[in-house]
C-alpha cells in the first residue's frame, strides 16, 4: 500500500462520513488529498471500489473490538464493555463509525458491511449468555433491548458529542444495569 493510496483512502473515509457517498465527487477527494483524480481510479478501479476498500478496512477493525469483548471473563464486564463500545469507537474512530451509520440508510449498502456479519452475531450470542448467567429472566429480549440502547446511544453521540453529556449518560446507563458494582 503506497503512501498516496493510503492518503486517498483516509481522505475518502473522512469526506464520505462528513458529506455522504454520492454527494462527494472524486474530484473533491483528489483535491483534498493533494492527488490527481486519475490516481484514484488507477488504484481503486472506480468510485465504488474505493468504498469497498474502506468497508473492508472497517470490517477488520470492528472484528477486533468484538474479539476483545468476547475475551472478557466476567459476564458483567462483557455487558459493560458493550455499552461502552459506541463511546470508544466514537473517540477512536469517529469518522468510520459515522460512515457506518449513514450507510444503513442507503439502499445500495444496506446488507453489505452492515448486515449481521459474523462478529455481530457472535457478540449477540455472547451477550445473551452473559444475561443468562446473571440470572435475567428473558436474556434474548434483554439483548434486543441492549442493542436498541446502543443504537440510540450512537445516534445521541452524533447529535450531542459533548464530553460531559456522554459521561453522564453512560454512568446512568451503567447504573441501570447495576454495572457500578463492577470493579474496573
Partner DNA sequence: GTCTATACGGGGATAGAC
Partner DNA sequence: GTCTATCCCCGTATAGAC
Q: What distance in Å separates the CA atoms of residue 5 and residue 132, rounded to the nearest whole number?
A: 47
Nearer to a second copy, 9 or 99 (CB): 99
Task: Pick one of a second copy, DNA, none as the site partner of residue 20 (Cβ within 5 to 8 A by kind).
Answer: a second copy
Residue 20 near DNA by CB under 7 A: no
End-to-end CA distance of the chain: 39
Among 18, 48, 125, 140, binds DNA (CB under 7 A): 48
Any contact of residue 18 with DNA (CB under 7 A)?
Answer: no
Is 121 exposed, middle or buried (CB count within 10 Å of its CB: 0-12, 13-18, 19+)?
A: exposed
* Site size toward DNA, by CB under 7 A: 22
Binding status of residue 35 toward DNA by CB under 7 A:
yes
DSSP assignment of 107-152: GGGTTTTSS--HHHHHHHHHHHHHHHHTT-S-HHHHHHHHHHHHHH
What 3-state class would DSSP assign to 105? coil
Work out what residue 104 binds among DNA, a second copy, none; the CB cut-off runs from 5 to 8 Å by kind.
a second copy
The site for a second copy (CB under 8 A) is made up of 18-20, 22-23, 98, 101-102, 104-108, 138, 141, 144-145, 147-153, 155-156, 158, 168-169, 172-173, 176
Output DSSP code: residue 15. H
Q: Please state, in angstroms and as integers, the Cα–Cα distance from residue 116 to each residue in 26, 122, 177, following that order.
A: 30, 10, 25
Whether 43 contacts 91, CB under 8 Å: no
Provide the CA 82 distance to its chain's centre, in angstroms. 12
Q: Does 52 bind DNA (CB under 7 A)?
A: no
10: contact with DNA by CB under 7 A: no
Residue from the set 41, 101, 114, 136 that interacts with DNA by CB under 7 A: 41
CB of 100 to DNA, least distance (A): 20
The x, y and z cell numbers of residue 24, run together, are: 462527494
Q: Which does 178 bind (CB under 5 to 8 A by kind): DNA, a second copy, none?
A: none
Q: Is 26 in the site for DNA (CB under 7 A)?
A: yes
Residues lying near DNA in the complex (CB under 7 A) are found at 2-5, 22, 24-27, 34-39, 41-43, 45-48
Amino acid at each position: 500500500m503506497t503512501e498516496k493510496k493510503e492518503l486517498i483512502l483516509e481522505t475518502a473515509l473522512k469526506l464520505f462520513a462528513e458529506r455522504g457517498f454520492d454527494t462527494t465527487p472524486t474530484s473533491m477527494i483528489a483535491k483534498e488529498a493533494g492527488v490527481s483524480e486519475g490516481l484514484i481510479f488507477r488504484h481503486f478501479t472506480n468510485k465504488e471500489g474505493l468504498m469497498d476498500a474502506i468497508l473492508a478496512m472497517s470490517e477488520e477493525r470492528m472484528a477486533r473490538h468484538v474479539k476483545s469483548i468476547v475475551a472478557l471473563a466476567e459476564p458483567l464486564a462483557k455487558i459493560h464493555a458493550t455499552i461502552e463500545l459506541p463511546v470508544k469507537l466514537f473517540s477512536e474512530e469517529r469518522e468510520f463509525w459515522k460512515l457506518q451509520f449513514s450507510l444503513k440508510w442507503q439502499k445500495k449498502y444496506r446488507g453489505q458491511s452492515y448486515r449481521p456479519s459474523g462478529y455481530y452475531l457472535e457478540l449477540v450470542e455472547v451477550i445473551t449468555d452473559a444475561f443468562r448467567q446473571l440470572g435475567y429472566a428473558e436474556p434474548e429480549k434483554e439483548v434486543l433491548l441492549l442493542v436498541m440502547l446502543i443504537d440510540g446511544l450512537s445516534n445521541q453521540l452524533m447529535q450531542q458529542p459533548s464530553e460531559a453529556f456522554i459521561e453522564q449518560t453512560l454512568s446512568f446507563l451503567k447504573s441501570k444495569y447495576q454495572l457500578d458494582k463492577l470493579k474496573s
